[in-house]
Structures are given as C-alpha cells and as structure tokens.
Amino acid sequence: MIDSYQVDFRPDKYIITNRNTTSSEKRAALLDETSLPNIDGFTIINVEWRQNGGGCIQFFVKNTFHILMHLFMRGRVLLEPEPEEMASFSTGAVPAAIQPLADDPVMRQVFGNERVIQRAGGLPSLEQWLSNRFECQWPHSTWHDKNFTTMRHPPGSIRLCWHCDHTLSGQHTEQLAGIAAGNLVSWILEVIRRDSGFPESHILTLPELCWWLVRNDLADVLPESVAHKGLRLPDEKIRSVMRESDIVPSASAASLVQEKAKKILTLSVDPESPESFMLRPKRRRWVNETYTRWVKTQPCECCRRPADDPHHIVGHGMGGTATKAHDLFVIPLCRECHDELHADVPAFEQKHGTQLDLLLRFMDRALAIGVIAKA
C-alpha cells in the first residue's frame, strides 16, 4: 500500500487501485514502463491522483528513490509517525536542530558580511554543502528534473533541478534572494557548530557565535545590539525628563568587544627576506609602539608595583652604538628599579637576576595570555 493505493507489480504492467474499492470496481491504469525504472533493489514511489472535470482519475507516479536513498546509505534509519511538535515543519528532511539565531533579523548583517563568508570557506564551500541536498528549492514548478545543480544568487546560492535552473537563469527576485540568504545562514551556522566541536543536535547560542567571531578576528562585524546582549550589559534607562548631570558617558558595547578581543602584537615569518641573501646585511631596528605602550601598563618585573617605563635590554649584545634594542626586547620597570638598573647594571642583576632572565619570564607571560600571537 502506497499513499492509500495498492500497487500490483507485474512483468508487463503496473496496476494501481484504490484500497476503498471492491475488486469488481477496480480502476486499472497501464503505466509507461519509463515511469518506473528497473532497479534491482527497492523503489520508493509517491502516488498522487487528480480528478479532472470529466470525472476521470489520473495517476501520477514519481520516483523519489534519489531523494531518500542517501539517508539509507548512512546506516540505520528510524521511521515513525509525525509527532505533534513537528506538525509545522515543511516537507523534507527534518533538521537535526533548529537554530534560533538563523531567524534573528539583527544577525542577518553579520551572516551577510563578506569577511564572515570568506572565513567560513567562501561560496564554493557553500555550493559543496548544498550539493548534498537532493531536492529542488524552487516551489513554484509543477515538474522537476531528476538532475540537480546550484545557481548563484546574491547573497548565496540555491539548489535547483535542471528544469528550474533553466527557467530561473538570469532572474533576480526577492524570493530567490530569500532562499539564497536562508541557505547562507544555515551553512554558516553549520560551519560554526562544526568548528566549535558541537554535535549536530547542538543549538548554537549567541556567546558561542561571538566567540567564533572573536577567534577569527571578526569582532568588529558585531552590531551594537548584539555586542550589548553578548556582554550582558544592563539596558540603559531613558527617562522622558533627565538632567544633563545624570547623563554618564560610556563606551559602546561594540568598542568594548573589540578592545577585549584585539591582539597587541602579531608576528609573521618571512624565510626569504631580501636581507637574508646578503653577505653583510644591514640591521634594521624593529619598532612597535603599541607593544611598548602595553608593556608600560604591566606591573614592574622586579617589585611588582605599577610600571612607569618599558626598559630596553642593555648589554648582552643587544642594540649597538647609540641604538636601543628591538622593541620586542623590553621589560616593564617602575621608576625606582629603572634608575637602579642604569646606575649599576651588575649590582642590579645580582639583586634581581639578569635582564635576560627577566625578559624571558615576561615574554613567556605575554605569549601565554595571547598578547603576542601569530599573524
């Protein structure tokens, strides 16, 4: 029994009868053999019937083997009646988890950002993800081809059969853009979930999304409202009548996220720099004011009091005549310890340890907390 009809398979014809009719009232229809391909295994058939004005019953047989077979190739499949909580779902494969972030209109500009798309893998990766779907996403067609392709439409791509792809080629409508945007959002959320190591049934939260953006240097794409919600800042109470003295200026939530996420120093390696091929290369001093300003804000490496100066290592082969050491080789010192070092370097190193020991200990901390990171 298939869709309320009994299908009798015979070598020469296929007879479809209504299960509510008696054997003497059977309506037989000889179907074209091309409608049902010869498959050694089982064939899944959708049977639809329509009644025209003359009262004749027409039968439509659709082979959906290619739509569901990929599910059975994965292993065991559970078949059960439709539960009440899934009554509102559209026809097709049930998603492993419903992502509320996909329906948030504020997040649309985040998912549509070009940098976010490129970090997730780009549109070719989106099309590869869509190639695992075996259904046409254009609902306004009475017939669909059995072959599928992907059609690019801003802001993403759409999975279509060959017939709909030929029909819609070159068209740009709001409905097509909505389908493409839905595919783009679902794909990005899938990439974030997979990169974060969560199972398919996991529902992504806003903090998890923000963490992925921060980890991929995309904190600046967060809108103000999303950053405010992600930091769990209290809502600003705006009264109808306020005194100017009651207004307290504060930094925006987006700037706070960028301030917390930014890296002080990023390093890159160039194994084929021009100077590396010279017999006597001219030395260039490495300068980074951002890093030295951060060093100045750290506690003194000797007495742990607030530092006043970023001290460049002296001696030990660092620097040269009238030249300081590279800005990377600095340690935070308070004014008292700094004056003590320059007054008598051997006595200072005997009391607090060598400058190289202090430098290695400080750089180890900077690397451990992510201040010095790879580019």
DSSP track, 39-78: -SS---EEEEEEE-TTS-EEEEEEE-HHHHHHHHTTS---
The tally of domains found in the chain comes to 3
Task: Decide if pLDDT at 138 tops 80.
Answer: yes
Note the pLDDT of residue 290: 84
Task: Decide if pLDDT at 27 tops 60.
Answer: no
Residue 277 lies in a domain: no
Higher model confidence: residue 290 or residue 258?
Answer: 290
Task: Decide if pLDDT at 336 tops 80.
Answer: yes
The CATH number assigned to the domain holding 319 equals 3.30.40
Are residues 318 and 327 in contact, defined by beta-carbon separation less than 8 angstroms? Answer: no
The number of beta carbons lying within 10 Å of the beta carbon of residue 187 is 23
Based on the domain organization, do 50 and 179 belong to the same domain? Answer: no
Task: Decide if pLDDT at 349 tops 70.
Answer: yes
Q: In whole angstroms, give the CA distance from residue 278 to residue 273.
A: 10
Note the pLDDT of residue 278: 87
Q: In whole angstroms, give the CA distance from residue 164 to residue 26.
A: 37
Q: Quick check: bond before 332 cis, omega within 30?
A: no
Are residues 105 and 208 in contact, defined by beta-carbon separation less than 8 angstroms? Answer: no
Are residues 358 and 338 in contact, defined by beta-carbon separation less than 8 angstroms? Answer: no
Note the pLDDT of residue 59: 41
Higher model confidence: residue 335 or residue 1?
Answer: 335
Q: For residue 299, what are the β-bridge partners?
A: 306
pLDDT band at 36 (very low <50, low <70, confident <90, very high): very low
Based on the domain organization, do 116 and 219 belong to the same domain? Answer: yes
Q: What is the DSSP string of 80-123?
A: -PPPGGGTTSPSSPPPSS--GGGG-GGGHHHHT-HHHHHHHTHH
Taking residues 213-227, report their average pLDDT.
80
Based on the domain organization, do 325 and 294 belong to the same domain? Answer: yes
> Which pLDDT tens digit goes with each residue over 41-78?
444 444 444 444 444 444 444 445 555 666 667 677 77
Residue 76 lies in a domain: no
Based on the domain organization, do 322 and 211 belong to the same domain? Answer: no
Chain centroid offset of residue 41 CA: 39
Based on the domain organization, do 114 and 233 belong to the same domain? Answer: yes
Based on the domain organization, do 255 and 139 belong to the same domain? Answer: yes
Task: Using DSSP, state whether 17 is helix, strand or coil.
Answer: strand
Note the pLDDT of residue 223: 80
Task: Decide if pLDDT at 170 tops 80.
Answer: yes
Based on the domain organization, do 136 and 54 belong to the same domain? Answer: no
Domain of 31, in residue numbers:
5-68
Residue 270 lies in a domain: no
Residue 301 lies in a domain: yes
Task: Using DSSP, state whether 7 is helix, strand or coil.
Answer: strand
> Which pLDDT tens digit goes with each residue over 179-208?
999 899 999 999 999 888 888 888 888 888
Residue 369 lies in a domain: yes
CA-based end-to-end distance of the chain:
63
Are residues 333 and 352 in contact, defined by beta-carbon separation less than 8 angstroms? Answer: no
Based on the domain organization, do 60 and 176 belong to the same domain? Answer: no
> Which pLDDT tens digit goes with each residue over 72-106?
676 777 777 777 767 776 666 666 667 888 888 88
Task: Decide if pLDDT at 236 tops 50.
Answer: yes
